Amino acid sequence: MKEAIRIGSVDIAVARDSYWAAAPATHLRDRASNAIPLERFAPYVGRQDPTTQVASRVLCFVVKSQGKTVLLDAGVGAWGLWRFGDGHLLDALAGLDVRPEEIDVVIPSHLHLDHIGWNTRPGPDGKPVVTFPNARYMFHKADWDRFTDPVIVDRQDPASRLARIADTCLLPISDAQQMDLVATDASVTSELKILHTPGHTPGSVSVLVESGGESVLFIGDVAHLCVQLTEYDWSPLGDVDRELSPKSRRRVVEEAVGRNALVAGPHLEEGPVYGRMVMLNGRRVWQGVDVPAQREIVAA
Ligand SMILES: [Zn+2]
């Protein structure tokens, strides 16, 4: 099992769905929405030009805790709506020997397309079919309210992309009565906690896995690029509340530092999936770590 780790008694595997890319200097703004002077990127991007795109990805994670199989994030889906092409989550799950029927819980970090795309898949008639028939889907209420709001999704516009996403990836889940709304921090098992970390969207969540004295924190889009875990004030223009998102970045970093937790996100730049917050040249930075393929050791 590639990129698999064991945290205490919890098995976690990476399921790679799709791609993403952004140029740090154009993606991020300071707190006043101004462009960040290019020289300020120098400690983070080295010799790379911060105005050029860095390759990134859309990852999902399969977490097995106390008999439950939990999917963190559900990728871009197969709805032709992601600019880098449809996703490969179902193939990735097959590669991990995980059948869609085995997923017990789906937790999108927030309700943007690239985290809910595979909530459903196109059926033979093109209509949405719930991808994970036995799963409870846990959505944060603040995101549900926003991304099903007729004004926000612009029901007046027949070409509204947000309305299409709501109709294909969100409303079929509540119609199937597979949705649970969470409104604050919540637990799925005693090893897996949902933390409300708003800012990118009102209902953005992170997931903390703790077992056997080890921990890993999945931060969703609290940060798209590693530099944001050092420069909390650097936010994409797409963050809906750019006062709250720096606070959430500070919270996840402090939660991680206090536990020496691994930190992973769905989009962080290509390279190691997991990292730790370390002090380097006077700054606290995310540093990727190579994790051994423990699953093979366990299986042997
Ligand atoms: Zn995203």
Specify the CATH number for the domain of residue 147. Answer: 3.60.15.10
Q: 58 C-alpha to center of ligand 1: Å? A: 7
Q: What domain range is 32 assigned to?
A: 5-299
Residue labelled with tokens 């799925």:
188
Asked if 50 and 23 touch (Cβ cutoff 8 Å), the reply is: yes
Neighbours of ion ligand 1 (CB under 5 A): 114, 221
Distance from C-alpha of 251 to C-alpha of 274, rounded to nearest angstrom: 18
Q: 75 C-alpha to center of ligand 1: Å? A: 9
pTM of the model: 0.95
Distance from C-alpha of 14 to C-alpha of 271, rounded to nearest angstrom: 13
Distance from C-alpha of 26 to C-alpha of 41, rounded to nearest angstrom: 12
One pLDDT digit (tens) per residue for the chain, 300 residues: 457 899 999 999 999 999 999 999 999 999 889 999 999 998 887 778 999 999 999 999 999 999 999 999 999 999 999 989 999 999 999 999 999 999 999 999 999 999 999 999 999 999 999 999 999 999 999 999 999 999 999 999 999 999 999 999 999 999 999 999 999 889 999 999 999 999 999 999 999 999 999 999 999 999 999 999 999 999 998 999 999 999 999 999 999 999 999 999 999 998 999 999 999 989 999 999 987 654 444 433
Q: 73 C-alpha to center of ligand 1: Å? A: 9
Distance from C-alpha of 8 to C-alpha of 114, rounded to nearest angstrom: 29
Q: 41 C-alpha to center of ligand 1: Å? A: 22
Q: 266 C-alpha to center of ligand 1: Å? A: 7
Burial environment of residue 206 by CB neighbours within 10 A (0 to 12, 13 to 18, 19 or more): buried
Q: 186 C-alpha to center of ligand 1: Å? A: 22
Number of structural domains, the chain? 1
